[in-house]
Chain A
Amino acid sequence: MSVLQVQDLTVDFAQRRGPKFRAVDHVSFELVAGETLALVGESGSGKSTIARALARLLRPTGGELLLHGRPVGHRGRKLRDYRREVQMVFQDPFASLNPAYTVGHHLRRPLRIYGHPRKGLEEVVEALLTSVNMVPATSFVSKFPHELSGGQRQRVAIARALATQPGVILADEPVSMLDVSIRLEILNLLDGLKRDRDLALLYITHDLATARYFSTQIMVMYRGEIVERGPADSVILRPAHPYTQLLEASVPGERTPHRLDELAPVRGAGGTNVILAAERAEATAATGCRFRRRCPHAMDVCSTHPVEQDLGDGHLVRCWLHDPKVREKSGDRAAPQQSAPSGA
């Protein structure tokens, strides 16, 4: 059941010089109860901007949010009702908890704000801590954030998000600041909570492996656009967009069928007259396919904006290589479709 529908979400940022910067460009998706949707992409691709727009920490330029099918209000009571339903877990548990207040205070605040009576407050706080495996809860209530490890702090942040009994949790890189050894515990915790409470979870990350294991669907974002989306295994095991293939080839220790040196050559032959790799990675095309400057398969048609192609099974890709007409014209050799290795 779809809890939160996002339609044509667009976010512009004003720049001192030049035109507005479009961080999120007509993005549509929906969050479903009991499912995790992973949003992956490099820094600056607009992942966090989407989360902040959904949490109404910033106001979108365009598009519409529908919570349980109803449009979302912009101010006052309606906005508050929305925020009660949609909660966020931030990346940095060192910055997202106030060092001057105890764990208990962090959990009592949202409860009081959303009208929980003083009576029975402590029981709820303890139940929240227990639900994130901080036991015995009583021993943590009066602790300050600096007395906790990074993993424990993130558990408190999760408990705080759960305090208002939301239907949607937006987790923006919830484990990237934590040690490798505790990341999986936190993700397992989120996964369990999602199942127990039938939450709709948006998991923002740049880690493809955990995105695959912990989510139902994956969306790959590049410079403000969703370039590929679909069932988690389908996207990871049969990546169709050259950018997704590049991301996968960059993961250490993996033997992916797409070799990085072909996808992102560092040097041209002879080392002369090449666009230098570091510079090249920065180049975003203003029109057409935004990835084409970095794309090893770039063609003439890429200067026009690609439309989403359906590869079946809900796996969609925004790339001309998969357009039936383009494929026909190029004798069907263009598409490095699905796992067909471009370099084998």
Chain B
Amino acid sequence: MRVQPAAQTGAEGRNDAVLRASHISVEYGGTVPTRAVRDVSIELHRGEMLGIAGESGCGKSTLAYALTRLLRPPAVMTEGQVLFCGRDGAAPIDIMQLEPEALRRFRWTVVSMVFQSAMNSLNPVISLRRQFSDIFEAHVPEMDREARDRRSRELLEMVGIDPSRLGGFPHELSGGMRQRVGIAMALALQPEIVIMDEPTTALDVVVQREILLEIARLRRELGFSVIFITHDLPMLVDLSDRLAVMYAGEIVERAPAEWVGGRPAHPYTLGLQAACPDLLGERRALQGIPGSPPDLRQRLRGCAFAPRCQYVFGPCADIHPVLSPLAPPAAAVIESVLDRDGGKTSKLNDWAVACHLHDRTANPAGPPDELAGDPLGTGGLVPPAVGAGLGVDPTGRPARGQDQL
């Protein structure tokens, strides 16, 4: 069985959000603006790792940059609000309203970032000592030189690098070590949120695995929240607590990671999963996702994934699907099972998908088996007998529209 006890964070419910972004839209200006992020709402719980998956150009990084106000022209955030709720329980801070000086202090101390290419995010001509000192001088001016040095050494040691390297330069380190330095720097001021934008993409599998274990360990020890962006779905399933799959600037599926690992509900997620073959599984015919993502300068009618989707039917061409909780009866049955399983119902509403296949009014037959969503890993839906016994109305579905991550 795949469902495990909810992470401490998940169990406390949705009030314990550290970052709450609503209706974010970002455009890259131009004669015809590119709408890279389209009305995305997302919530990051305290201490959790939220994975964001999707292929290139689907808006993952743009979203992360928008959350930290790191967008640079021609990118403009046209709509949306980002609220930060600190550990101290003070009133939520509206990140979009921060004055330049407050924003400067906010970054790194509260939200820090690890970039894809550590090669380029470290300055090649100054020593690591100098680069660590820069952080402390800018954010903790009262620290003296000795304290800065001590803390820098601690940080290096924390990520598994010999502190004697402090006087060295980035080019003396391997790619994996540079990425570790990047992580150490991001953690230097004990932020509450760390955004990691493909931090291991350029690295070898072994090094990648070491870094991921390192991140998991540090997160356990220091208790920060992580938004982890990558195109590697199996890695996210392994790593994160919840995950959101983005396509054409929107979130198309969002669920606790181990559920999506079991059986996703959106055809795009299924496609991504199939595109990464199992190493040790049965030999099978392998297939990618045909076609390419849509041009985001265009107005998208209907479902953006429809042209590439093998399940396309009636409403897909014209009606835009809204991210909604997974339809009953599957969801209701799961709820009852989970309820018996120890009251983890709060997680249930966390499984949402933007796809007409799951809309019982448009598709009374319900989604095909492989997209039915299967959190329990039973290899199929909970037997109908169980659902019938619970008196679930097979056509009932929750109100749409006011969904929130």
Q: Interface residues, chain A, CB within 8 Å of chain B?
A: 42-43, 149, 151, 179-185, 187-188, 206, 208-210, 212-213, 233, 236-237, 246-256, 260-261, 264, 266-267, 276-279, 281-282
Contact = CB atoms under 8 A, between A and B. Distances in A.
20 contacts: A42-B207, A179-B56, A180-B275, A180-B288, A181-B288, A182-B289, A185-B287, A185-B290, A188-B286, A209-B276, A209-B277, A213-B277, A252-B209, A252-B235, A255-B280, A256-B279, A260-B213, A266-B213, A278-B180, A281-B174
A209 B284 CA distance: 12
Contacts, number: 128
Contacts of A187: 286
Interface in B145-166: 157, 159-162
Given A181-B55, A181-B272, A185-B290, A264 B206 contact: yes
B276 A180 contact: yes
Contacts of A185: 287-288, 290
A209 B278 contact: yes
A278 B210 CA distance: 9
B235 A250 contact: no
Contact of A253 (B55, B208, B234): B234
B161 A252 contact: no
B210 A277 contact: yes
A183 B205 contact: no
Interface in B235-281: 235, 237-239, 261, 271-272, 275-280
Given A185-B290, A260-B213, A209 B275 contact: no
Contacts of A246: 206
A193 B254 CA distance: 39
A316 B286 CA distance: 28
A266 B210 contact: yes
Contacts of A253: 234-235, 237-238, 261, 276, 278
Instruction: Label chain A's interface by main secondary structure.
Output: helix
Nearest to A279: B162
A266 B292 contact: no
Contacts of A179: 55-56, 231
Contacts of B213: 260-261, 266
Given A149-B292, A252-B239, A278-B176, A181 B210 contact: no
A187 to B, nearest CB: 7
A255 B279 CA distance: 9
A206 B177 contact: no
Q: Size class of B's contact patch?
A: 35 or more
A292 to B, nearest CB: 16
Given A43-B204, A181-B272, A208-B205, 13 more contacts: A180-B55, A180-B288, A185-B288, A185-B290, A250-B208, A251-B279, A252-B239, A254-B279, A255-B280, A260-B213, A278-B159, A279-B177, A281-B174
B175 interface: yes
A183 B275 contact: yes
A183 B288 contact: yes
B355 to A, nearest CB: 17
A42 B208 CA distance: 11
B217 A180 contact: no
Contacts of B162: 276, 279
Contacts of B159: 278
Contacts of B204: 42-43, 206
Interface string B286-308: 11111010000000000000000
A249 B209 contact: yes
